[in-house]
Amino acid sequence: MVQPDQSSLRNQLLRALAPEDFALVGPYLEPVALPKGKVLIEPNQPIEYVYFAESGVASVVALNSDHRPVEIAIVGWEGLVGPSIVLGVDRTPHQSFFQMEGGGYRIATPHLIRALEASRTLHDLLLRYIYVVTVQTAATAMSNGDSVLSERLARWLLMCHDRVDGNELALTHEFLSLMLAVRRPGVTEAIHLLEGTGMIRARRSHITILDRERLEETAGDSYGVPEAEYERLIPNPEVSGGSHSRRDPREIE
């Protein structure tokens, strides 16, 4: 297996690793396609691989007794899928799947565990990322409890926008209703509200971000805290601070 060139990677966690830490995981990174709907982690099953996305967006969902998903976190090129392995836990009650197609790398769990055991700095970096995920999950709970649907939708669109190239999001109303845990008519109404004020353009299975600044104003306090914590705790050699810095650093001038 050919080790990827660290400097050419888009996944910010992999790029943030010290060279000696990347040498522990690089030889075991396998390129993988991540099509829409691909399940990466099944609930309560041993986690065989940890995934580092280079493009696309993954959802982490909790499933109720009727197997209806409620999204609790999203992951893109800024993170990894399978964080419980870093905590020494081999499975999770949650499901992870790709909601927007992309690609990336995976590493077999035993290889990552050995690397974590060999390097405190590697372990510490990934623990800081997991802390950010807990902040994101808490922000989602607060948004679901305190924000009106248009604010929640604005926050979710911003979070997806942070993790994709360009301004096009491949999203259906039905999928949005599942991820936001609301009925589809409510999502449609919220989309029409954001579209009517010129923040987005919606068409079948796609939403285009037109005015990110106004989306941020609409989302208000529900968006920004996890993003700021990520910027504070995860090194980025190419970007220092600034709004929207989770996007591909090579897109930001």
For 145-173, what is each residue's pLDDT tens digit?
777 888 888 999 999 999 999 999 987 76
Our CA angle for 191, 193, 197, nearest 5°, is 115
> Domains in the chain, start-ordered, CATH in brackets?
6-141 (2.60.120.10)
Reported as a single tens digit per residue, the pLDDT across 80-91 is 999 999 999 999
- The residue written with tokens 């969902």 in the block is 61
pLDDT tens per residue across span 185-230: 777 888 888 888 899 998 878 899 999 999 999 999 889 999 999 9
DSSP letters of 32-89? EEE-TT-EEE-TTS---EEEEEEEEEEEEEEE-TT--EEEEEEE-TTS-B-GGGTTT-
Please tell me the predicted confidence (pLDDT) of residue 147: 73
Q: If DSSP codes are grouped into helix, strand and coil, which group holds residue 210?
A: coil
Concatenated DSSP letters for 113-167?
HHHHHH-HHHHHHHHHHHHHHHHHHHHHHHHHHHS-HHHHHHHHHHHHHTTSSSS
Helix (H) or strand (E) holding 98: strand 95-108
pTM equals: 0.89
